[in-house]
Amino acid sequence: MEFNIINPKTKSELLKTIRKEKHFRFGAGCTDLLMELKKNSDEGLTVINLSQVKDAQFNGVKKSAKGIRLGAMLTAHQIVMNEDIKNNFPVLHEAALSLASTQIRQVATIGGNLCTASPSGDMACALVTLEADCEILGANGKARTIPITDFFTGVRKTALKKNEVLYGIFIPSKKKKVKNITSRFIKIGARRSMECSVVSLAYHIQTDETGKIIHAGVAIGASAPTIRFAKSACGFLIGKKFKNISQREKEEFAGKVLSYASPITDIRATAWYRKEVLFNISKAIFE
């Protein structure tokens, strides 16, 4: 495994490096990248190390009335420790906490988790549920924003163009009149730690003071080539009382979630199992 490494220290140095370098990969936490390079060493490759770029928008958290903006370089550990996220977006907190191990969470970033574009990305799945937007920075310093569902274009493929870098993620605040939030990340895997999801289900359901669902986000991971937002399942819930959903409705909801799944059989599980479990855990979220 051989590569050069460049450590830009500021945003402008970073942009300059991007413009200058021909054959490069970005390294955020490097946990995935290094595994990949160890397997398939790519001669003459430059790794642009993003971890030393000092830039508040890249590394920090910014709250506003509209929502919360997370710098792409926030680590899973920082996400776990963030009280705002824990209180307002538990699904993301839980997803970050379920990621690999203490040491990996220390360096693994939310931006890396998105850009790897693994169908089983944990934080990515939570962010899809939260209907986040991705802020992308071009080499010219101009940013563009796209919905996260447009960010993932296939297995390990994203909408990032060459010379673009993921700059931040914006999560919209809860809707008006929301009283309660039921927000969880369910990860199915053989072990309780150091695990890649066999199936994951993220949901963020907002209810008003009467318990009526006024907004719902549901996403599934490791069940299709990309993380999927289960739109029809979300729509199905609107207007229903969270606590009064009948058994038949639960199953109908689970069926709708399942309609977004097109899993494969691989080393971790069979397609049959993924579907079966997805259905079971989906119908169980109301209990």
Partner 1 sequence: MQVLKLTINGKKHELLVDEHEMLSKVIREKVGLTGTKIGCEQGSCGACTVLVNKEPVLSCITPAMRFDGAEITTIEGVSKNGELHRLQEKFVEKGAIQCGFCTPGMVMTALDFVNKNPNPSVHEIQDALSGNVCRCTGYKKIIEAVAEYAQEVKGEKLKVKSPETTKGTVGVPRPYIEATKKVQGIADYADDHKFKDALHVKFVKSIYPHANILRIDASEALAMQGVRYVATGKELPITFGVLPLSQDETAMAIDKTRYAGEIVAAVAADTEEIAAHACKHIKVKYEPLKEFLTIDDSLNDIGTAEKIHDTTKFNNNIHKKAELRFGDQQQGLKEAEVALKMDFEMIGINHGFTEPHASTAFWDENGLTMISATQVTHYLHRALAKTMEVPLGRVRVIKPYLGGGFGGKGDPFAHEIIVAHIARKTGKPVRVKLSREEVFLNNHGRHPTKMTIQLGASKDGFLKVLDADVAIDGGAYGSFGVVTSYYNGVLLQAPYKLNNFGFRTFRVYTNKPQCGAMRGHGAVNTRFAVESMIDEIAHKIKMDPVEMRMKNFLEPNSLTVGQYRITSNGIKQAIKTVTEQADWKNKHGKMPHGHGFGVACGFFISGSALPIIWNELPQSVVHLKLDFDGRVLITSGANDIGQGSDTMLAIIVAEVLGISMDKTFVIAADTLITPVDLGSYSSRVTFMAGNAAKDAAENLRKEISNAIAKKKNIAAEELHFSENRIFSNDKSVDLSWDEAIEILTANRGAVNVSGKYISPKLGGDFKGAGAGLSPSYSFSSCVAEVKVDTETGHVKIVNIWGAHDCGKAINPLAVEGQLEGSWHMGMGQVMTESMDYYNGLLINNNFLDYKIPTSLDTPPIHTNIIESIDPEGPFGAKETGEGAIHAVLPAIANAVYDAVGIRITKLPIKADEVLRLLKEKSKKEIAI
Site membership for partner 1, residue 35 (CB under 8 A): yes
Choose, by CB under 8 A, the member of 10, 12, 52, 244 that binds partner 1. Answer: 52
With beta carbons less than 8 A apart as the criterion, state whether 284 and 199 touch. no
| Closer by beta carbon to partner 1, 42 or else 208 | 42
| Closer by beta carbon to partner 1, 2 or else 83 | 2
Site membership for partner 1, residue 110 (CB under 8 A): no
Q: Which of residues 64-93 bind partner 1 (CB under 8 A)?
A: 77
Residue 267's contacts (CB-CB under 8 Å, 6 or more residues apart) are none
| Closer by beta carbon to partner 1, 56 or else 194 | 194
Choose, by CB under 8 A, the member of 3, 24, 151, 229 that binds partner 1. Answer: 3
Site string for partner 1, 176-195 (x = CB under 8 A): ------------x-xxxxxx
| Closer by beta carbon to partner 1, 210 or else 247 | 247
Considering only the stretches 61-69, 101-109, 124-132, 226-234, report the one whose residues sit in contact with partner 1 under the rule CB under 8 A.
101-109
With beta carbons less than 8 A apart as the criterion, state whether 242 and 211 touch. yes
With beta carbons less than 8 A apart as the criterion, state whether 244 and 216 touch. no
Choose, by CB under 8 A, the member of 68, 74, 196, 213 that binds partner 1. Answer: 196
Choose, by CB under 8 A, the member of 30, 128, 169, 222 that binds partner 1. Answer: 30
For 185, half-sphere exposure in the C-beta direction (CA atoms, 13 angstrom radius) is 27
